[in-house]
Amino acid sequence: MLRECFKKIFNKEPAVIYFSPGRINLIGEHIDYNGGLVFPCSITIGTYAATAKRDDKIVRCYSKNFEELGVIEFSLDNLGYDKKDNWTNYAKGVAKFLIEKYPQIDKGFDTIVYGNIPNGSGLSSSASLELLFIQIFKDLFDLPITEVEAALLGKRVENEYIGVNSGIMDQFAISLGKKDQAILLDCNTLDFEYIPVCMPDTKIVIMNTNKRRELADSKYNERRAECDSALAKLQSKIIATTLCEIALEDLEANKDLLTDNEYKRARHAITENIRTKSSAEAFKDNDLIKFGKLLNSSHQSLKDDYEVTGIELDTLVEAAQRQEGVLGARMTGAGFGGCSLAIVKNDNIEDFIEKVGKEYLDKIGYEAGFYIAEIGEGPTKVKDIAE
């Protein structure tokens, strides 16, 4: 499908088609920027790009998802952020930072991009796009970029070029994704470990609220600021460089230093880190019942202490938790909308989707989306896509 589209738009054959996945986070939410542990994996839905190198310094981009925008063009000699360049700012940001390090990048390319991550769903379409463009440059110019370097570069684009103060989790999960493996990542040291996701009798069901994460980015930066000020105040009494390394007893003993909100944000960060550690152990012990309970308490903490859920996510997750055959459920990603996850026994999935779907529609007034998560590889080359 992308080959055909490329021929139609650019009047030539594409040379290569690249794929970059989206991600889900099993547990460890809103703690990557607090020096905590996260437990994400890349999924088989993501972003594709059919690409052919050019002989000049022009990059021409067309998105199957935003056809009304037509072909957006920029030059490698002019890589400043420009709102009117819309989604191609992700490509410009990648190009800008890569050229600083690899001046041999002296040619542009034509590309058609298509993503099958539902829009605004919190499955990290932006990190997927960043890693897609890093993969294109890496491959076209044979750049010696490691997967960890690619993740750090993607994060830099998000933070310094796009202006969202996100942590490392999404780019790391995508860049280092491996089929059927989750990544236990220490965001303080970047030490990581692959842990097999082997769940023969159950599946991970992704539930999309279909509520876009509007305003999420400003709220996201607000939560980060609250965590930073909580840490700064606690540091007057406790030796610590991140919130997640503070013991819960120490937080309780110094509660008076903090505003109510700062205290709650810090309590979420500290307890979520403990839950993530326990979840990785539960996974290694094949104890999905324990893991399910940890998912439920993670959601509760994100709802009450971190306050990033909202009626749509709470309705979906609480309906899911009540169904037969469900081991646990929680929101995933930044929150305020987007997606949640449930671990559901295979035999109950059909019933689960029907009942949770109905409850959501009755209460919220529009439909939720349901997908079975498949854990796939990081950025790679592919032949084409069928759709």
Q: Give me the residues that bind ligand GLA (CB under 6 A), please.
A: 25, 29-30, 32-33, 124, 166-167, 169-170, 333-334
Q: Pseudo-torsion of CA 278, 279, 281, 287, nearest 10°?
A: 120
Question: Considering the complex, what minimum distance in angstroms separates the CB of residue 112 from ligand GLA?
Answer: 26
Rounded to the nearest whole angstrom, what is the least distance from the CB of residue 237 to ligand GLA in the complex?
27
In terms of CB distance, is 125 or 135 closer to ligand GLA? 125
Q: Smallest distance from the beta carbon of 174 to ligand GLA, in angstroms?
A: 11
Q: Which residues pair with 53 in a beta bridge?
A: 109
Instruction: Identify the active-site residue in 32, 110, 170, 305.
Output: 170
**Minimum distance from CB of 26 to ligand GLA (Å)?**
11
Pairing of strands 58-63, 109-115: parallel
Least Å distance, CB 126 to ligand GLA, is 8
CB of 29 to ligand GLA, least distance (A): 4
Cα–Cα distance measured from residue 331 to residue 316, given in angstroms and rounded to the nearest whole number: 9
- 305 catalytic, yes or no? no
Residues near 103 by Cβ (< 8 Å), separated by ≥ 6? none
Three-state SS annotation for the chain: CHHHHHHHHHCCCCCEEEEEEEEEECCCCCCHHHCCEECEEEEEEEEEEEEEECCCCEEEEEECCCHHHCCEEEECCCCCCCHHHHHHHHHHHHHHHHHHHCCCCCCCEEEEEEECCCCCCCCCHHHHHHHHHHHHHHHHCCCCCCHHHHHHHHHHHHHHHHCCCCCCHHHHHHHCCCCCEEEEEECCCCCEEEEECCCCCEEEEEEECCCCCCCHHHHHHHHHHHHHHHHHHHCCCCCCCCHHHCCHHHHHHCHHHCCHHHHHHHHHHHHHHHHHHHHHHHHHCCCHHHHHHHHHHHHHHHHHCCCCCCHHHHHHHHHHHHCCCEEEEEECCCCCCCEEEEEEEHHHHHHHHHHHHHHHHHHHCCCCEEEECCECCCCEEECCCCC
**Residue (14 or 35) nearer to ligand GLA, CB:** 35
Q: Name the residue nearer to ligand GLA (CB basis): 14 or 154.
A: 154
Question: Considering the complex, what minimum distance in angstroms separates the CB of residue 267 from ligand GLA?
Answer: 16
Task: Answer whether 295's CB lies under 8 Å from 330's CB.
Answer: yes
CB-nearer residue toward ligand GLA: 102 or 192? 192
- Residue closer to ligand GLA, measured from CB, 25 or 210: 25
When the beta carbons of 14 and 46 are compared against ligand GLA, the nearer one is 46
Contact 331, 216 (CB under 8 A): no
Of 33 and 161, which CB lies nearer to ligand GLA in the complex structure?
Answer: 33
Q: Which residues are catalytic?
A: 170
